[in-house]
């Protein structure tokens, strides 16, 4: 993930603020928002069977909350964010982290050579690994450190 080469994309640098305008992609269900030095993910879809319990998609809690970068010691790593329509660039003391959509269901994070990880809270009752990495389902809350 390098800097954009299109002058038109460069004109859109930092136009997405992630507080009011999410990072998303065409046909994607994933909407990534920023809160301080962490992110949260909402899904742009209706869960009609669970709407009475969880509320509609505008009211329910994020599916992933408090998603943040952590260093080798487990401490949060602050970052400076640069946004483009096609990617996010997080500049940290440990290197640059890039984020883009790999497909409508997958956010790809390009990590620096320096040791860096992530932690987050996820709304799910069950977790399992699969061909894409992992899946979560249900409505309980887990904290994950990777």
Q: pLDDT of 18-63, one tens digit each?
A: 998 899 998 888 899 999 999 999 887 655 555 555 555 556 678 8
- What pLDDT was estimated at residue 140? 52
pLDDT in tens, 74-119: 999 999 999 999 999 999 999 999 999 999 988 999 999 999 999 9
The confidence band for 130, taking pLDDT boundaries of 50, 70 and 90, is confident
- What pLDDT was estimated at residue 60? 64
Classify strands 117-123 and 30-35 as parallel, antiparallel or unpaired. unpaired
C-alpha–C-alpha distance, residues 116 and 22, integer Å: 24
Phi, psi of 18 (to 5 degrees): 65, -10
C-alpha–C-alpha distance, residues 116 and 135, integer Å: 22
Please state the pTM of the whole predicted model. 0.80
- What pLDDT was estimated at residue 96? 96
- What pLDDT was estimated at residue 50? 57
| Residue 68 pLDDT exceeds 80 | yes
| Residue 3 pLDDT exceeds 90 | no
Domain borders along the chain are: 7-145
3-state secondary structure the chain: CCCCCCHHHHHCCCCCCCCCCCECCCCCCEEEEEECCEEEEEECCCCHHHHHHHCCCCCCCCCEEEEEEECCCCCECCCEEEECCCCEEEEECCEEEEEEEEECCEEEEECCCCCCEEEEEEECCEEECCCCCCEEECCCEEEEEC
């Amino acid at each position: 993930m390098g800097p954009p080469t299109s002058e038109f994309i460069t004109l859109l640098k930092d136009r997405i603020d992630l507080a009011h305008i999410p990072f998303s992609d065409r046909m994607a269900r994933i909407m990534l928002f920023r809160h301080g030095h962490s992110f949260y993910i909402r899904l742009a879809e209706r869960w009609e069977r669970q709407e009475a319990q969880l509320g509609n998609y505008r009211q329910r809690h994020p599916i992933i909350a408090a998603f943040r970068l952590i260093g080798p010691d487990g401490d949060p790593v602050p970052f400076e964010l640069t946004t483009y329509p096609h990617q996010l660039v997080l500049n940290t003391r440990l290197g640059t982290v890039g984020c883009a959509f790999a497909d409508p269901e997958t956010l790809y994070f390009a990590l620096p050579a320096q040791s860096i990880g992530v932690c987050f809270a996820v709304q799910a009752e069950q977790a399992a690994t699969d061909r894409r990495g992992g899946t979560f389902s249900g409505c309980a809350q887990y904290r994950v450190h990777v």
